């Protein structure tokens, strides 16, 4: 690997970590960079999933104040994220190459639409909850299985997982957007980590020809670690409308990048 490639992957990891901590979709930067340098898609996907984990961890740490008082909710949703990440990783090992990537742009667009409609839909959910006498801040019943489904997506192909999660959480959980962002970072980190563990185990025992490129993991991980701290330091100060607009822009950019890659 040349010095130029090393520098480019480090910078891509930095950008991915920063964007992932704020909204998600930053993973498309690292994935596209690896493909541009000729890394096989499956190897790029697996190595990328492991590499971006430090960025999600530092992003969650940066949002630790927004996570205050949400321990029970995070713990409950973590179960869904871990299980979904395992299922998604298993699907990557079992399904034909390209089977899931074909619908990824549509899923990202769905997430963007949900982000745009999120405030109105959240108000509707809140009104229904008030009529039922639900407690303020309670989650809609479909949030847990939705997070499980989002984690399956993330375990298989993590780009824009954060956008989709933010859309679902914004509709089904009655909390400010910044507090939801903290939850999102924790859930994405968990899904990517368990998926990465599955990839490593499967490769180690020889059940699949898929391999982990540990140099790529290291480079992306170092960049994402710094990017997560940087993104969470500035992203958590953004007004909700600005953050929502940023989510939409990043989501649309991810779709365009995937269609032309």
- How are the residues of the chain apportioned to helix, strand and coil, as percentages rounded to the nearest 5? 80, 0, 20
- The whole domain housing 112 covers 3-260
Residue 83 has pLDDT above 60, yes or no: yes
Q: Measured between alpha carbons, how far is 228 from 213 in angstroms, rounded to an integer?
A: 22
Q: pLDDT tens digit string along 201-247?
A: 887 776 666 678 999 999 999 999 999 998 888 866 777 677 678 77
Q: How many CB atoms lie within 10 A of CB 215?
A: 13
DSSP 173: B
CA-only gyration radius of the chain, Å: 17
Q: What pLDDT score was predicted for residue 181?
A: 85
pTM (2 d.p.): 0.82
Q: How far apart, in whole angstroms, are the C-alpha atoms of residue 216 and residue 34?
A: 9
Whether pLDDT at 11 is above 80: yes
pLDDT value of residue 194:
93
Query: Which tokens go with 119?
Result: 């405030």
pLDDT score, position 261: 62
Pairwise CA distance, residues 195 & 83, whole Å: 10
Nearest to 14 by CA among 38, 35, 1, 33: 33
- pLDDT (average), residues 30-45: 85
What does the DSSP assignment read for 66-115?
Answer: TTTT-HHHHHHHHHHHHHHHHHHHHHHHHSPTTTTGGGHHHHHHHHHHHH
Looking at every residue in the chain, the average pLDDT score rounds to 83
Is the CB of residue 234 less than 8 Å from the CB of residue 64? no
In this structure, of 11-25, 28-42, 122-136, 246-260, the range with the lowest mean pLDDT score is 122-136
pLDDT 10s digits, 128-145 = 656 655 555 568 889 999
Nearest CA-CA partner of 100 in 159, 181, 174: 159
Number of compact structural domains in the chain = 1
Cα 55 to Cα 18: distance, rounded to the nearest angstrom: 7
* Whole-angstrom distance, CA of residue 6 vs CA of residue 220: 9
Query: Hey, is 139 helix, strand or coil?
Result: strand
Q: What pLDDT score was predicted for residue 132?
A: 55
Instruction: In whole angstroms, give the CA distance from residue 142 to residue 145.
Output: 6
* pLDDT at position 252 over 60: yes
In this prediction, residue 95 carries a pLDDT of: 80
- In this prediction, residue 84 carries a pLDDT of 97
pLDDT, residue 147, reads 96
Predicted pLDDT at 125: 56
């Amino acid at each position: 690997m040349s010095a130029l490639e090393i520098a480019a992957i480090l910078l891509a990891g930095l950008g991915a970590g920063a964007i992932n901590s704020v909204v998600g979709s930053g993973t498309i930067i690292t994935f596209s960079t690896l493909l541009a340098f000729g890394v096989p898609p499956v190897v790029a996907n697996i190595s990328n999933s492991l590499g971006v984990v430090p960025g999600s961890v530092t992003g969650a740490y940066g949002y630790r104040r927004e996570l205050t008082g949400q321990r029970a909710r995070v713990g409950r949703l973590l179960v869904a994220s871990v299980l979904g990440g395992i299922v998604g990783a298993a699907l990557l090992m079992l399904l034909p190459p390209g089977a899931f990537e074909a619908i990824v742009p549509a899923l990202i667009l769905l997430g963007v639409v949900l982000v745009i409609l999120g405030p109105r839909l959240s108000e509707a959910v809140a009104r229904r909850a008030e009529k039922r006498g639900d407690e303020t801040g309670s989650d809609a019943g479909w949030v847990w299985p939705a997070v499980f489904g989002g984690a399956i997506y993330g375990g298989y192909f993590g780009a824009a997982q954060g956008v989709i999660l933010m859309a679902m959480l914004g509709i089904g959980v009655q909390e400010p957007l910044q507090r939801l962002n903290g939850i999102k970072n924790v859930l994405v980190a968990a899904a990517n980590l368990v998926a990465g563990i599955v990839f490593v185990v499967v490769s180690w025992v020889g059940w699949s020809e898929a391999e982990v490129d540990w140099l790529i993991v290291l480079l992306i991980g170092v960049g994402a670690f710094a990017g997560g701290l940087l993104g969470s330091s500035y992203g958590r100060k953004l007004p909700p409308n600005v953050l929502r607009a940023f989510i939409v822009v990043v989501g649309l950019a991810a779709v365009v990048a995937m269609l032309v890659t």
